[in-house]
Amino acid sequence: MYRLNSAPTPDAGTERYDFERPSKTSLKKAMHELQALGEALLLLPDSRIDAIGLPESLRDAVRTAQRTKTHEGRRRQMQYLGKLMGKADKATVVEPVREAVAAFQLGHAKDALALHHAERWRAELIADDEALTRWTAEHPGGDVQQLRSLIRSTRKEAQAHEAEGPGVAARHGRAYRELFKLLRTALTDQETADE
């Protein structure tokens, strides 16, 4: 018959040590976070991945994951990538990867915000004549004549489309796109001048 030894009691003169180990759940959570970071790393352009200075084994795992097409193969490669990142030094590998991914995502968010800003201005300029006055006050130095011409052409295109009838799919013409390009360029130029 086997007998389990119980932990020694403090009365017996021996000390009991309790070591705090991370729970299995927290280890799995950390591994999933590293896998998610690895997936975000795959979305970076090659030039940014090379600039991070990853160890060769990790860089090879990233390249392999980028080439893997099957779902199961990619899943396994992502697990392997997470495992490599878990073994890597946090300060020299994981944190630079986090920073590079965050910077890349922030750049995309800024681009999307700038596009929405240009779209909002375009809608306002087409809908209201007073918007042109606000635009010229906020963005002096632009070609107001070209802007007026594009606004008029866009409005004419919209009226022609309405005359075609309700069953015709919405389609925007050349002036609508040119107006957006002009606004986007002006907003980008102003952002670079402000920085």
Cα separation, 179 vs 156, whole angstroms: 13
- pLDDT category, 64, cuts 50, 70, 90? very high
Rounded percentage of the chain residues whose pLDDT exceeds 90:
10
**Which amino acid is it at 194?**
D
Q: What percent of the chain has pLDDT over 70?
A: 84
Tell me the average pLDDT across 141-152.
Answer: 88
Q: DSSP readout, 91-113?
A: IIIIHHHHHHHHHHHHHHHHHHH
| Residue whose structure tokens are 């130029």 | 189
pLDDT, greater one: 131 or 5: 131
The rounded radius of gyration (Å) of the Cα atoms in the chain is 29
Domains of the chain: 24-88 (1.10.60), 110-194 (1.10.60.30)
| Residue 116 pLDDT > 60 | yes
C-beta of residue 158 within 8 angstroms of C-beta of residue 166: no
The least confident of 36-50, 67-81, 126-140, 169-183 is 169-183
Residues in the chain: 195
Both tokens assigned to 113: 């915000």
CA distances from 118 to 81, 82, 125, 174, 176 (A): 40, 40, 10, 16, 12
Higher pLDDT, 67 or 193: 67
Which pLDDT band holds residue 16 (cuts at 50, 70, 90)? low
The pTM of the full predicted model, rounded to 2 decimals, is: 0.54
| Residue 7 pLDDT grade (very low, low, confident, very high; cuts 50, 70, 90) | low
Give, in order, the Cα–Cα distances in Å from 148 to each of 2, 128, 140, 152, 186: 94, 12, 14, 6, 15
Q: With 70 as the cut, is the pLDDT of residue 167 above it?
A: no
Count of helices and strands (H, E) across the chain: 8, 0
DSSP one-letter code for 166: T
pLDDT exceeds cutoff 80 at 18? no
pLDDT-based confidence at residue 120 (cuts at 50, 70, 90): very high
- Rounded CA-CA distance 39/36 in Å is 5
Mean pLDDT of the chain: 82
